[in-house]
Structures are given as C-alpha cells and as structure tokens.
Structure 1
Amino acid sequence: MTIDASAFPSPRRRASARKRRRLALLALVGLALAAATALILNAFTDTLVFFRTPSEIAQRADAPGTRMRLGGLVKQGSVAHEGTTVRFTVTDNRADQAVVYVGMLPDLFREGQGVVTEGAVGPDGVFKADSVLAKHDENYMPKDVADRLKAQGEWRGGDAPAGAPK
C-alpha cells in the first residue's frame, strides 16, 4: 500500500493559509473599527455645538423633544414672571425663540444679556428650559481688582466696567 503525498498539504501551504486567514481577520477587525469610529463621529456632530441660535432652530426642523442648548440675547421687554415660572424670548436679532423656565434664575439674568438655556422645543414651538445660564459681560472686573488698578494709576478703562467702582 502506497500513500499518496498529494493528500497532505505541505508545511509551506499550511503556513500560507494561516497567514491569509490572519490577514483577513485583521482586515475585518480594521473595517469594524473604522465603521464604529465613523458612527461615533457622526453621532457627535450635533452634540459638539455649544448652543444653537434661534435662527438655527428655525432652519432645522428637529423633532419636538430633541434636547439642545439655545443661546442668544434675552429680548428687551420679553421677560414675564408668573410665580416660579418665567417666560422670555431669546433672540439673535434675526429670529426669536419663546422660552419658558420654572425655577430660580441666575443673578446675572436680565433683558439684553447673553443667555444659554438647556432643554427642548415642545410641540407648541416653545422652548422648555430646564436650566438657564446667564453669560457675564466680557468687561466684567471684580471691584477689588478695579480698586487696586485705580490706586496704582493703571486704570485704562473709560467707563467703569460692571463691578468696578464709579
């Protein structure tokens, strides 16, 4: 009885098949990793924005209840207090967005001041905020720092900034 040598693959052939399988597995893992990275980056595109303006909210027709941040200026004459509920309008001077908030407002909140609210637009088109962040004026300087600058004769401001002595 003779043994047919062609029935058994050579060691070189076996090594080559292992390398191909390993290469295919690495390619598959690389493809899965690239797809996962693309999905994650795509999901972050909307959430990387610090806030949306009223104009952007008007242009984008997001589904009601989509969480976002709304930023702009509190429109003059729009603030109305009803107990703990506050209604106001945020504007970017191109579009306005009505906002309703229940709770205590920050001390810096006032008409004409920058504000960022977090919440969602309801089915009625009103932004229901669950937090309100008032932005301070860029010229703000603590009173004691302004006093020291004036005492040293280094005060260069024309008008006293917010918080500075008059």
Structure 2
Amino acid sequence: MTPVQRRRLVWVLLVLLASGLATTLVAFALQRNIAYLYTPSEVLRGEHGTQSNFRLGGMVVKGSFQRAEGSLDAHFVVTDGDATLPVSTSRILPDMFREDSAVVALGRLQDGVFVADEVLAKHDENYIPKEVADKMGKAHTKHDVPMPAVETR
C-alpha cells in the first residue's frame, strides 16, 4: 500500500468514525426528548413505564377546574371516558383552555397527580387531536361506550 492510499484509508476511517459518533449522539438526544401520548386509563394501568416525561391526552372534566385567587396554580381533572386523572400546573394556561374540551399536557406523574409543564388546548370543543381521539376511540370500543362526534383536521 502506498503512502497516498494509506492516508486516504485513514481519512475514510476517520470520517466513518465521526459519522457514527454523530449519529449515536443524535439518537440518544432524540430518545431522551421523545414524549409519548397516554390516556388516563393507560397511565393508571402503568403503561407509561418509568418515563419521567410524557404527554397526557383527554378531555377536561366539566366542573373540575380550580384556580386560587392571584395565583397561576391550576388544578383540573382529565378523562378519557373510562378513567380520570388529576392534573396540576403552575404555568399559564392557553386562552382556549376550557372545561369539557380536549387537552394535551406534557409533564410527569408525581404522587398520583400529573404535574404539567405545558398544557395545549384546541379552540373548538368538538375537536379532539387525532392521537387522543384514536386512543379514546380504542378505549371506548373495548367497553362498547359510544364516542362523541369527533372532528379531525
């Protein structure tokens, strides 16, 4: 092997090693930042596993929203029609947050209460995010409970 060929081989090996290292780092970063969506029933069954952060999706139970005067601390209950899970947050809620409407919250489970770092809500009470509708639909077909009309966009 000539010195030029040897130099090229070293460069190719270094590029392959660097590419492999970069791919591995990106994969680890993405894996840590992925947040799966679960319904209250799935969370209570323990399907969320040991994930520290995940998304909770469902409908806000009518009459469950509570907020202390002069505070951002809010408490409400989310349901998928089969189970309910209390949610608390100290963040600003979106303007479109309403009771009896779809919500997706990103956070963690702590002592049986979902502590939300971020709450997402949609503007129309007839709209349920497709992921939530699919999961709630599966839960209701298992128990033969009719699902409300769902509009997907």
What TM-score do the two structures reach when normalised by structure 1? 0.55
- The two structures, once aligned, show a CA RMSD in angstroms of 3.1
In the comparison of the two structures, how many residue pairs are matched?
Answer: 122
1:99 is displaced (CA, Å) by: 0.7
Counterpart of 2:148 in structure 1 is none
How far is the alpha carbon of 1:104 from its aligned partner? 4.8
Determine the structure 2 residue equivalent to 1:163: none
Q: Which has the higher contact order (CA 8 A, sep 6+)?
A: 2
CA gap of 1:47–1:92, structure 2 versus 1, over 3 A, is farther
Report the TM-score, using the length of structure 2 for normalisation. Answer: 0.58
Contact 1:53 1:92 in 2 (8 A): no
Q: Which of 98, 104, 109 pairs up with 1:121?
A: 109
- Deviation by residue 1:66-124 (Cα, 9 ceiling, x = unmatched): 344433211234323343332112233354332112355334222220112233332x1
Deviation of residue 33 (structure 1)?
0.9
Residues 71 and 115 in structure 1, CA contact (< 8 A), matched pair in contact too: yes
Which ranges in structure 1 are unaligned for 5 or more consecutive residues? 1-12, 141-166
2:30 paired with 1:61: no
Residue 134 of structure 2 is aligned to residue 134 of structure 1: no
SS class of match (2:117): strand
Runs of 4 or more, structure 1, over 4 Å off, are: none
In structure 2, do the counterparts of structure 1 residues 56 and 25 end up closer, same or farther at CA, with 3 Å as the change threshold? farther
Classify 1:25/1:78 alpha carbon distance in 2 versus 1 (closer, same or farther; 3 Å). Answer: same
Counterpart CA distance in 1 for 2:61 and 2:54 is 20
Partner of 1:70: 56
Which runs of 5 or more residues in structure 2 are unaligned? 128-153
For 2:18, which of 5, 29, 32 is the aligned residue?
32
- Describe the shift of the 1:108–1:136 C-alpha distance in structure 2 as closer, same or farther (beyond 3 A): same
Provide the secondary structure at the position in 1 that maps to 2:93.
Answer: coil
Larger CA Rg, structure 1 vs 2: 1
What percent identity do the matched residue pairs reach? Answer: 42
- The 1:25–1:68 alpha-carbon spacing in structure 2 relative to 1, beyond 3 Å, is same
